[in-house]
Homo-oligomer: A and B are copies of this chain.
Amino acid sequence: MSSSSALVEKLISALQIMPGIGPVSAARIAYYLLDRKRQEGVAMSETVKYALEHVSLCPRCRNYTDVENTECELCSGTKRRQSGLLCIVETPGDVQALENSGSFLGTYFVLHGHLSPIDGIGPQELGFPLLQHCFEDPVLKEVIIAVGQTVEGEATAQFIAAMAHKRNLKVSRIATGIPIGGELSSTDGHTLENSINFRRPY
């Protein structure tokens, strides 16, 4: 590849650190910004830099927060704390999804991933010492494990369940089954198996 601008090449290669952006999309984005959105692109780069340098994790639930060393809005709501419910999720996006659904009014704990020894992600990286601290809250009644239904998610769930059982906490796992609007014919076998095994009285 020979381009008349080394800077453009650098730009195209820099953009590729983003997930889902390969050489073709990166070139498309670079040319678009250079040709039509220089000012907006500069503003975007400044926002990205500022956010990456300033977003921190809530010292209690590890969700993103703008104010360092201060519990986030969700953690500091007394009603939420008094509910005695703690929902454990993999990502801040999961918190957002549950909040958008309006179906949960307790507090959260964000793992930022799942156990994955091959990637060097163990109990320490997922904040288990901090989670242990949450488990010691006398108000806490039930731990809802809402990690993904994957092999790694299941391993993570078992690890957390063991921790919670040691403290005599009630532990639950979010339901699996066919989604609302889902048809059996277009649902995979594992999900169908789960939906039969975990059938409920009707």
Q: Contacting A17 at CB < 8 Å: which of B10, B37, B52?
A: B37
Determine whether A41 belongs to the interface, using a CB cutoff of 8 Å to chain B: yes
Q: How many Å from the CB of A49 to the closest CB on chain B?
A: 4
- Pick out which of these stretches binds chain B: A63-71, A128-136, A165-173, A187-195: A63-71
Determine whether A112 belongs to the interface, using a CB cutoff of 8 Å to chain B: yes
Within 8 A of B (CB), among A1-57: 1-8, 10-11, 14-15, 17-21, 25, 27-35, 37-38, 40-55
Q: Which residues of B contact A38 (CB under 8 A)?
A: 52-53
Q: Contacting A51 at CB < 8 Å: which of B10, B28, B37, B96?
A: B10
Q: How far apart are the CA atoms of A7 and B138 in the complex, in Å?
A: 33
Q: Are B48 and A14 in contact (CB under 8 A)?
A: yes
Q: Contacting A45 at CB < 8 Å: which of B7, B8, B52?
A: B52
Residues of A within 8 A of B (CB): 1-8, 10-11, 14-15, 17-21, 25, 27-35, 37-38, 40-55, 58, 63-66, 72-74, 91-93, 95-96, 99-100, 112-113
